[in-house]
Amino acid sequence: MAAKWIKTKYPGVRIKMAKWPGKPDKLGKVYWGRLRGKTYRLGDEWTGCTPLKASKLLADLKTGVVVPAKDYKGKTFAEGYEKYGNTFDSRKDKFKKELPGFKNEASLWRVHLRDPFGHRRVDSLTHEDINKFLGDLRATGLTPQTRAHIIKLLIKIAKYQDFTLKIDKPVVRNERVDMPADQAQYTAFVKHLEEKKHPVSDMMLISIYSGLRRGEVARLKWSDIDTANQTIYIGDQKNGMRSFIPLLPHAAQVIARQERNGSPYLFPGKEGGCRNLDKLTATAKRISLKFGMPKNHRPFHSLRHWFATMLASSGKINQYTLQQLLRHKDPSMTQRYSHLTNSAFDRVREISKGVF
């Protein structure tokens, strides 16, 4: 015989009796709530839930803090993270490119989420809990991007426990510029790289002349270069796309001076394999600092950024073409690369004299 519903003094909250886990002869209360035509399990007596707590959770559901599945079992965030980790481990061979991101998430969980949320049941969160956590997160001085990653991970863990957390992420503005701000500095830096005649300097020049990402430059193979049609094939991109980009004259000159040594890679690493990306970044950083770039300079990211900036500020490349060259899925990503250089501002100043 099915258990009967028992009313409470709190609107929308009802009770059904169920067997107490580990005590087959004892019954306990399970609290349920009805919202927008669906029934949600709000909590149970053996985990400390009360009619008042169930009522507060139902109120949170109405305002969209948490949305559980109908058959939610009351798991904790720690159990959700373990489930997420086990799922990833079983599929990591298929998703090797996601491994660095998962390792970063493991660090975020350990440092920022495990202590405040590990022991908490997902369905126990309230507006006050979320707002306090967001306030504490802002007080740490972490960048908006890092805070957004932390919140994203919290939402992801809850999802693995059949809950949807609705939290506004920090606004991230990535319009960071750490390349030279004028043409003279840019020219001097390019000349510095050209004079080095070092494989890593040439890789940095390819990024400047083609807008390639660090990993894309490192993975370039001789078979990707089509000199007859003047194109470069880019596979295994950050966004999962595969595409062709034009082989521009300056990039062609850099490629032409590379020696074939039996490796399929254009810029081979140890024993002819693909270069280690961390070591590549460290070498590029040393080259940049020796020239006089600031300590927060990110070599390949900044060079790709400068490639886009120079084309955009020329006034001869439209946003759609720039998006294709940078291989952005989202047009808004291209927009942040279209800020003007100082020389372009100077041209605007001159033009304005005859306009206003």
Residues 58 and 131 in one domain: no
- Percent of the chain with pLDDT strictly greater than 90: 9
pTM, entire model: 0.51
Give the pLDDT of residue 169.
65
Of the residues 139, 165, 191, the one at which a domain ends: 165
Tell me: pLDDT of 265 over 90: yes
Q: Is residue 174 part of a domain?
A: no
Give the pLDDT of residue 203.
92
CATH number at residue 199: 1.10.443.10
Of the residues 165, 199, 219, the one at which a domain ends: 165
Quote the Cα angle for 117-126-8, to 5°: 125
Q: Which domain holds residue 44?
A: 6-63
* Structural tokens at position 247: 């082989």
* Structural tokens at position 237: 């991109």
Residues 270 and 336 in one domain: yes
Tracing tokens 């169920």 back to the chain, one arrives at: 18
* 29: β partners: 17
Tracing tokens 């720690």 back to the chain, one arrives at: 78
Residues 153 and 14 in one domain: no
If one compares 311 and 335, the residue with the highest pLDDT of the two is 311
CA separation for the pair 321, 296 (Å, rounded): 30
Give the pLDDT of residue 267.
92
Residues 309 and 217 in one domain: yes
Of the residues 132, 165, 198, the one at which a domain ends: 165
Alpha helices for 109-213 (secondary structure H)? 114-117, 127-139, 144-159, 183-196, 199-210
Residues 92 and 47 in one domain: no
Residues 224 and 91 in one domain: no
Backbone torsions φ then ψ of 30, nearest 5 degrees: -115, 125
Q: Is residue 230 part of a domain?
A: yes
Residues 230 and 310 in one domain: yes
* Cβ atoms 244, 269 nearer than 8 A: no
Residue type, 348: V
CA separation for the pair 88, 347 (Å, rounded): 52
Residues 31 and 156 in one domain: no
Quote the Cα angle for 287-146-100, to 5°: 65
CA separation for the pair 237, 325 (Å, rounded): 13
Residues 195 and 339 in one domain: yes
Q: Is residue 345 part of a domain?
A: yes
Tell me: pLDDT of 95 over 60: no
Total domains, the chain: 3
Residues 81 and 202 in one domain: no
Residues 120 and 157 in one domain: yes
Tell me: pLDDT of 300 over 80: yes
Q: For residue 154, give the 3-state DSSP assignment.
A: helix
CA separation for the pair 53, 15 (Å, rounded): 13
Q: Is residue 35 part of a domain?
A: yes
Q: Is residue 38 part of a domain?
A: yes
Predicted confidence (pLDDT) per residue in 337-351, tens digit: 555 545 555 555 565
Q: Is residue 178 part of a domain?
A: no
What is the average per-residue pLDDT within 183-192? 79
If one compares 72 and 42, the residue with the highest pLDDT of the two is 42
Backbone torsions φ then ψ of 37, nearest 5 degrees: 80, 0
Tell me: pLDDT of 111 over 70: yes
Alpha carbon separation from 31 to 74, 134, 163, 207 (Å, rounded): 11, 29, 17, 59
Residues 226 and 334 in one domain: yes
CA separation for the pair 33, 43 (Å, rounded): 10
